[in-house]
Amino acid sequence: MAAKRNTAEPGAAADLSLTDPVDWADHYWSKYDLGDQQEAFLAMSSTLRLHRLMTDVVETELRAFNLNLTDYLVLMTLELSENGTRLLSRLAWNLLVHATTITLATDRLENKGLLYRHAHPTDRRATCVTITDEGRDLTGKATAALKAVRFGLTGSTAAQQKRLLSVLAALRSAAGDVDRSH
């Protein structure tokens, strides 16, 4: 059973000594005896905090190129594609966003001359998107700026990034994101 919470002391000493929000959550989870899955909750909290911190750094850099994170990821996905072209539906799948989000991003990027839409050569129902030379140029410049800030992983080493990537790949696979058995 959870311990009774004392709400009358908002400035408790533990609040002042725990400057890391994840440590703070860890302390109070234990104090209030909230049971199992404490590590899962803390891992989720820490991951979401890191995501927010990374996104803030990346978005700040991308503003100089008049791009947001979704726009950059669309352009980079096209840049990484074998011929610079992807189906709109595949872009949405790659980026884990709704088709409407891809359509809006594509509208913005097409209006800037960074990509163009065209019909699929064999499937009249499908729309393809291809990066332009201007899009490739801007993507290269934005990527160079993001490399300078380690894509938001400021202060990390290549070894830490590799370990993080390995852990995240295993967790994504367990969550059903990818089948790594092939």
In the chain the domains, ranked by start, together with CATH numbers, are 39-151 (1.10.10.10)
Q: Is residue 175 exposed (0-12), middle (13-18) or buried (19+ Cβ within 10 Å)?
A: exposed
Q: How far apart (Å, rounded) are the C-alpha atoms in residues 68 and 161?
A: 23
* Whether the model pTM is above 0.95: no
Dump pLDDT digits (tens) for 28-84.
999 999 999 999 999 999 999 999 999 999 999 999 999 999 999 999 999 999 999
Supply the DSSP string of 25-45, one letter for each residue: HHHHHHHTT--S-HHHHHHHH
Confidence at residue 1, expressed as pLDDT on a 0 to 100 scale: 47
Supply the DSSP string of 63-77, one letter for each residue: HTTT--HHHHHHHHH
pLDDT band at 17 (very low <50, low <70, confident <90, very high): confident
- pLDDT higher than threshold 60 for residue 6: no
- Joined tokens for residue 131: 């990066």
